[in-house]
Structures are given as C-alpha cells and as structure tokens.
Amino acid sequence: MAQRILEPGQIERLAKSSIPRVRLPVGSQLFARRAARLRELAAGAAIGDYLRLLAVLAESQHGELARLAPVPPAPAAAPSAAAPCAATPRALSTRTPPIAAASATPPSAWRDTLTALCAAIASQRDFPAGVEKAVAAIGRATPAWVDSQARSILRGEGDRVDVSVAPLLMAALQVHWVGMAACFEPGAVKPLVIPGQCPLCGMLPVASVVCACAPYQGYRYLHCALCATEWHMVRVQCSHCGASGPPIAYHSLDRSEADLREVGSAAVRAETCDECRAYRKILYEECDSGVDAVADDVASLSLDLLLAERGYHRASGNPLLWLTNANRPS
C-alpha cells in the first residue's frame, strides 16, 4: 500500500473538516489486542521474557476492564463514582480534560484491580528477576502508600515514584481510565490548546500511530499513555516542542539492531527533533497493521538506547517501562 503523504497545510484543512480529531479507545478490544501483540513481539526478542510478562498483565487488564467497565450515564445523570462522565459538559465547554489525571483521586476500586493484576502475575513462572519482589512489595505496602504512589503517577511526579512497582500501579490505573474514556460519545471530545496533552485526561502520549485504513489513512494520532485516547497531530511536527520542517528527522534500527538508519521502511521509527533534542516513536500501520503504541514502544527498547547515545531524550515514558529513580515503601 502506498503511503499517503500530505503537506502540513493540507492535513490541517482536511483535519478540520473530514476526519475525527479525537479517537476514543474500544475497551472491549484494547488490552486483548495489546496482549496478542506483546506475545507476537516476544518471539525471538532479547527482552522476550519481559514482553511475555506484559502480555499476561494485559490479559488481566482485559478481564478486569470487562468486570469493571462503567455504564455510560444518561444525559441528566448526576456525577457519581459509577458514572464518571456525568460532569463532561462543563469540562468540554472549558476545554479542560474532563477526566483530568493530575487533579483526580484514584477511584476506590483501583486497589482491588491492582490486587487482581498482581495475583495474575504471581501465578506465572519464570518471570524476569525483580518481578516477584515488586509483587511482594505491593502486598506489604499500606493502602496510604499505594494511593500516594498512584497520585504521584497521575500528577507526573516521576521522582516520587518507585519504578520497581510503577508498571503494575500504572496498569491498574489504566484499567479505570480506559473504562472512563470508553464511555464518552465519539466526536464529543475536542483537542486541547496544548496539542501534546491528552484531551480527555491531560496525560502525555507514549507514541504516535500513522493510520492505514480509511477514513484515517495517512493521518497521525498521538496515543495517551493512561486512557488510550488518540488525538490528531500534523505529521513532520515535534509532538514535544511543536517545531516542524528541517529539525525533524526519522530513524529506525537496521536489521542487526546494532545501529540507526535514516527513515527506512520499518514499522517503528523514532521522530527526533533537533530543536529540543527529544523524540517519540512513530508507528506505521501500512508497514504492520498489528502495531500497538504501548507494546511496540517497549519492544523497540534498542532504538531508545541508540538514540540516547546520540544525545536525544524521550519526550515521555512508556507506562509499562519506568527507567527513573524511585522511592521505595518502608
């Protein structure tokens, strides 16, 4: 399939008139599809054990979301824990994220979800070193500490987060935020003034995806790390600082995964910006229809390592792979 390349001005004009600016997650498919992709990517991968572990985690997320998915509220419904989208009209009118993570208190049921995810992981054998300790640490931690860690994750306070347990905590939070996102009406949510923030929860994207199927063919969508909402952004533009044109370049791994090459035909590439020296992965469905923003980003860790050697930094992290320093429970 030939790639559809449009000039920035064309994309902006068409985006305003003919394509959805925001795409909501399909809760019944998201985590099951991600789990299948992770298992596919794990075959022969250097980090295959970790990818298989994440596949088990995604399968558990799928089951928990099916059990906890909220029912969309009636138009006149009052705000409640069971109907988190009832406050949507006011949030939409002010163009602020209607389920903003930074100001949210994790729902009370999120710790039950976390317990279920940990149980699914603990039931496995041959998981990577450290996983058993992470599950045990969560089991020993007080509810207050676990909730404080969740709030730090939602507020983007990475220096306060224990990276050894963060992927499990984030996975539990994802279940609830995807459930909330999925109950919005398609077309009701508009992009924020800040294009690099999720219009639904305000979190940063993990990567972007260039779609291959109509009516989205050739268009790029950023993918939220928390609620999996996707929003349109013009291509050949830095999703971190907004620069466009010559500062933007694209890189992929060569076949030996020992060096970088410019552009190439790989389904996973890095979009780098020489203005801010940041990058995010960009995935191309025309090269591989099965790409998943979270799964393929984790699986292409070698690309991150090589870009770091060239002086680039990630514009934002992967929700299931934390690489910063952390605080641990006492």
Dihedral over Cα of 242, 245, 247, 249: its sign: positive
Q: The domain 26-181 belongs to what CATH superfamily?
A: FdhE-like domain (3.90.1670.10)
* Percent above pLDDT 70 for the chain: 80
Cβ atoms of 85 and 184 within 8 Å: the answer is: yes
Reported as a pLDDT band with limits 50, 70 and 90, residue 17 is low
Residue 301, helix vs strand vs coil:
helix
250-291 tens-digit pLDDT: 999 875 555 666 555 689 999 999 999 999 999 999 999 999
Cβ atoms of 330 and 146 within 8 Å: the answer is: no
In angstroms, the CA 83 to CA 184 distance is 11
Cβ atoms of 64 and 179 within 8 Å: the answer is: no
70-111 tens-digit pLDDT: 544 333 222 333 333 333 444 444 567 899 999 988 888 999
Model confidence, pTM: 0.85
163-200 tens-digit pLDDT: 999 999 999 999 999 999 998 987 788 888 777 899 99
Question: What pLDDT was estimated at residue 329?
Answer: 39
Cβ atoms of 283 and 291 within 8 Å: the answer is: yes
Reported as a pLDDT band with limits 50, 70 and 90, residue 239 is very high
In angstroms, the CA 210 to CA 146 distance is 36
In angstroms, the CA 319 to CA 257 distance is 23
* Percent above pLDDT 90 for the chain: 63
Question: What pLDDT was estimated at residue 79?
Answer: 31
In angstroms, the CA 194 to CA 202 distance is 9
pLDDT at 1 over 60: no
Cβ atoms of 122 and 132 within 8 Å: the answer is: yes
Domain ranges (residues) in the chain: 26-181
114-153 tens-digit pLDDT: 999 999 999 987 777 788 899 999 999 999 999 999 999 9
Strand partners, 279: 272, 314
